[in-house]
Amino acid sequence: MPTKNSQSANSLRNIIPAPLEVSDSGGSFNPSQLCSFHIDELYFSLKKEFVEMCAGYRMELHETPENSAQIILKRNAGYSEEEWSANISDMKITLESSDLNGMRYALTALRQMFAIAFNCGAHYAELACGKIHDQPRFGWRGFMLDSARHFQSVETIKGILNVLAAWRINRFHWHLTDNSGWRLELDSVSSLVEDFELDRGSYSKAQVLEVISHATAKGITVIPEFDIPGHSRCIIKKYPNLTCGENPESREICIGSRQARKFIKNILSEIIDLFAENPYIHIGGDEAKTTNWDKCLVCQAAIEEKKFSNSRELEHDFMQEMTRFVVSKGRTPIVWGICSDLTYPPDTIVQCWLDIREPVRVAQNGNKTIYSVHNSLYFDYPAVPSEPHESWMFELSERGVYMTDPHIIWPEKVADSVLGTEACLWTEFVPEWRIFSKIIERLPAYSECAWSQNKNKEWSDFQRRKDNLLAAGLISDL
């Protein structure tokens, strides 16, 4: 005698990331029965995905005529951005939100409930009745992909975006330039895409627009990164006059050169035009050495003219000029965390990666911050010591990702300044074929860290929910 699907009895409590509030009302909805569905106009773009999801479980779904069982995607103007709810009774499922992303997230939850309910066979599939009300802890839930060191095809990037969307990640930070590779085909620097250290490949403007279009359809904002004034050897090899002493092996732009600054602004303009709808531009600002600047006559003359005392102050002047330029184009600049006491204008977002105290300093300077501290959110770090890695990399377990909290120290000082989190996948040791193995297992834990309130997070309960979704094929099949 078959037993009742034990997971469906608890289907409201199998969701990842953990929702804000869940309440049971008793009874169950049978998704195998004939259902009508109604979708408010705002969500028409999600109709195909919704119908295909239901078809995947062989649900009999009709837009008309009215059947006694219904699934409704309804606009609720009273909800805030990305907020959603699911109200399940024995004959009706009502999903509500005020925007597209809210409804997308309601559908990811419904998909998880369906996957677990149908895992025991359509005949026994049941969804528990009750209500889920949910909204994110952080509005910025990002993922950074390094396409500069190792290259990924557009198809692979679309696959990554699909997986990110399933875990409600809403920012895709695209690291496109570095010492070992330049991946953007631009009119101003077109010859750069021919010279790579690790593997070949570049993105045409049409391909970039294809990625942006795919991300937009998934509710994800794409943020390009052009890393300056360090991490620039690839561009310097082709344009040695950009660096101090025209040394083609240098990694740093000559920040004292007016011509170099003008050239960089031309590139920035073209990137800004290409990412036309994107409100953010990342301009790096990390790990530049002062060695060449300290010896360069041009840089030293600029330091004297501007009455600075050292090369770091000139570097800061360079970054200030570039952030101001981005702002003048109507965009918000993002930079990597500051390793010195120098500051940025308040409209610059600082992505903190160095240590857990960095967000406190950034908050005191009046900047918003994104939390990406390396020992808990750098996905290139090995999950086990046998994975290829550098000696300076920490071991990063799934639990380490799960326990990440941007408010870990002095929450009262950083609460207003932390926009959210961003996991980063650097690719020195991650060729294209290893990408998914580095992210699939970690994204559910990261999703809960970025979305769920601490009071709703519990490691053993997360593992239970993840095991159930794994058993239903949802994590590996995304």
Residues of this chain that interact with Zn ion (CB under 5 A) are 244, 254, 256, 296, 298-299
122 versus 301: smaller Cβ distance to Zn ion: 301
The β-bridge relationship of strands 127-134 and 177-178 is unpaired
The β-bridge relationship of strands 181-182 and 221-228 is unpaired
247 versus 453: smaller Cβ distance to Zn ion: 247
Burial of 10 (0-12, 13-18, 19+ CB in 10 A): middle
Query: Are the CB atoms for 17 and 168 separated by under 8 Å?
Result: yes
Q: How far is CA 44 from CA 18, 38, 167, 465, in A?
A: 27, 10, 22, 31
The Cβ of residue 222 has, within 10 Å, a number of other Cβ atoms equal to 21
Judged by phi (left if over 0) then psi (alpha if -120 to 50, else beta), residue 376 lies in alpha
Residue where the block lists tokens 């940025």: 344
Q: Minimal distance in Å, beta carbon 314 to Zn ion? A: 9
430 contact partners, CB below 8 Å, separation of at least 6: 146, 150, 380, 438
Q: How far is CA 307 from CA 311, 314, 317, 372, 470, in A?
A: 11, 10, 11, 35, 61
22 versus 298: smaller Cβ distance to Zn ion: 298
164 versus 254: smaller Cβ distance to Zn ion: 254
The β-bridge relationship of strands 171-175 and 177-178 is unpaired
Closest CA to 228 of 263, 202, 190, 274: 263
153 versus 241: smaller Cβ distance to Zn ion: 241
The Cβ of residue 246 has, within 10 Å, a number of other Cβ atoms equal to 12
Closest CA to 75 of 92, 54, 100: 100
236 versus 450: smaller Cβ distance to Zn ion: 236
161 versus 244: smaller Cβ distance to Zn ion: 244
Residue where the block lists tokens 């002062």: 290
117 versus 299: smaller Cβ distance to Zn ion: 299
Closest CA to 224 of 174, 267, 264: 174
Q: Minimal distance in Å, beta carbon 84 to Zn ion? A: 52
110 versus 254: smaller Cβ distance to Zn ion: 254
User: Alpha-carbon distance 447 to 16, whole Å?
Assistant: 8
User: Alpha-carbon distance 107 to 105, whole Å?
Assistant: 5
Query: Are the CB atoms for 94 and 109 separated by under 8 Å?
Result: no
Query: Are the CB atoms for 272 and 281 separated by under 8 Å?
Result: yes
Q: Minimal distance in Å, beta carbon 422 to Zn ion? A: 32
125 versus 254: smaller Cβ distance to Zn ion: 254
290 versus 375: smaller Cβ distance to Zn ion: 290
Q: Minimal distance in Å, beta carbon 231 to Zn ion? A: 16
Q: Minimal distance in Å, beta carbon 295 to Zn ion? A: 8
